[in-house]
Amino acid sequence: MKSGKMLFVRIDFKNSEDAVIEKVAIDSAAYLKQLSKGRYLTAGVFGDMATEIIDGAMVVFEAENLAEAQAISDADPVIQSGLYRYELKQWHVMIASAEK
């Protein structure tokens, strides 16, 4: 993590069980991949990949402050589509495994 940056956790929740998100999910993945080039970012989905039933997602990323973290989240295509909503929390790492 870069000095002066904070970590944030964004948890996404479906707004509708009937939501079809294939196209917007592809756009969201491209957005997050581009965003990860300049900051720490890791993301993944909750659900059963075998059945392709996705319950939600989580993104952990760096930002300067809460306002920037909200702007990053609001610009994600999966959020802009209205198919998902999110909760955003600043995250303070207490324990981290050492790289091997």
**Residue 19 belongs to domain with CATH number:** 3.30.70.1060
Residue 81 lies in a domain: yes
Range of the domain at 80: 4-88
Residue 100 lies in a domain: no
3-state secondary structure of 5: coil
Residue 50 lies in a domain: yes
Strand ranges inside the chain, DSSP E: 6-14, 41-48, 53-63, 84-91
Q: What is the pTM of this model?
A: 0.84
- What is the band of 9 on the pLDDT scale with cuts at 50, 70, 90? very high
Q: How many domains does the chain have?
A: 1
Q: Give the pLDDT confidence of 40-74 residue by residue, as tens digits.
A: 999 998 987 787 777 889 999 999 999 999 999 99
